[in-house]
Structure 1
Amino acid sequence: MKEELKGPEVEGVSVAVVQELGDDNVIVYNVYIINEKEEELEQVLVTSKGYATLKKGTSQVGETEQKVETTTLRKLLGSIEAKSAKKVEPIMEDVLTLNNEYWVSFFVGTTMYDKKFIFLSETVKEENFVNIPILNKKGVLVG
């Protein structure tokens, strides 16, 4: 790729999946954008989807595979203040078995940034939880 086509590197912004107590004390998973920058993120747009290639079994021709993909969702979050976080969406527990991709685009001043954050299948588990900055909650962080 030509160097002039590459955008500026994204630093200080990450995506987290956090386990929280929802209504009726039921465990839910929520996705957050974490802004650890000193600047506000403006016009934040998030595109999300889940995908995987699953082995179905073997046949006379060999192993068969099935591609699974969720609907692509787009959400305009507006601005995220410096040193804060904003909830993107709840995520269903059964979708955590897929790779979950979040493509985040935003402006800082007049400069546009974008980055793809991927939670690989089966990584959102309690043994992988860390303390999420800004939120001070446990979850999985991709930065």
Structure 2
Amino acid sequence: MKKDIEIPKVEGVYIAVVNEYNAIYKTQDWNAYIINDKDVDLDMIIIVTSGYNEDKTTSVFRKKLDRLPKKSYAKIELLQEELFALNNTFKVSFFEGNKMFDKTYLFRKNTINLKALQAIPLMEARGVLVK
């Protein structure tokens, strides 16, 4: 029975942590985004985030998006720099047509930093990307 279950591979959907200027508070903030680089819309997106290491575990954060249009992105949450010393997971589930997709994105501890910034697809921003 298990061999009959098809688990589709997620491609074209990324998580990025972007360092950007907050004009209201005049600070540099780190924000997590989900990016849909596909040519189709995503429906009913559920994102569950948490951080952990050997000693600590953060509380779980959940976010739901009804739709993420093709070639677009949406902000998930603001991240405090103290979290970068932890492994940060983003568990993403969504529908593409009638098929459900699921993937866990992992930012390993200390990999989110200013030295790791790169160009982010679809955004005019620099950040750390996990595919």
TM-score (norm 2): 0.94
Distance 2:82 2:9 in 1: 32
CA shift for structure 1 position 24: 2.7
1:56-135 matched pairs, under 5 angstroms: 67-135=55-123
CA shift for structure 1 position 125: 1.0
Question: Is the radius of gyration larger for structure 1 or structure 2?
Answer: 1
Question: CA 1:121/1:38 → structure 2, altered by over 3 Å: closer, same or farther?
Answer: same
Q: Percent identity?
A: 36
**Equivalenced residues, count:** 129
1:142 has 2:109 as partner: no
1:21 has 2:9 as partner: no
Distance 2:26 2:109 in 1: 26
Extract unaligned runs of 5+ from structure 2. Answer: none
Structure 1 segments (4+ residues) deviating >4 Å: none
Residue of structure 2 equivalent to 1:56? none
Greater alpha carbon shift after TM alignment, 80-89 vs 21-30: 21-30
CA shift for structure 1 position 81: 0.4
Distance 1:90 1:5 in 2: 36
Distance 1:68 1:3 in 2: 37
Extract unaligned runs of 5+ from structure 1. Answer: 54-66
Instruction: Indicate if the aligned counterparts of 1:77 and 1:88 stay in contact, CA closer than 8 A.
Output: no
Residue of structure 2 equivalent to 1:39? 40
TM-score (norm 1): 0.87
* Cα deviation 1:35-79 (Å, max 9, x = unaligned): 0000001000000000001xxxxxxxxxxxxx2000011111221
CA shift for structure 1 position 6: 5.0
Which protein is richer in strand relative to its size?
A: 1
What amino acid maps onto 2:90 in structure 1? Y
What amino acid maps onto 1:7 in structure 2? I
Distance 1:140 1:19 in 2: 9
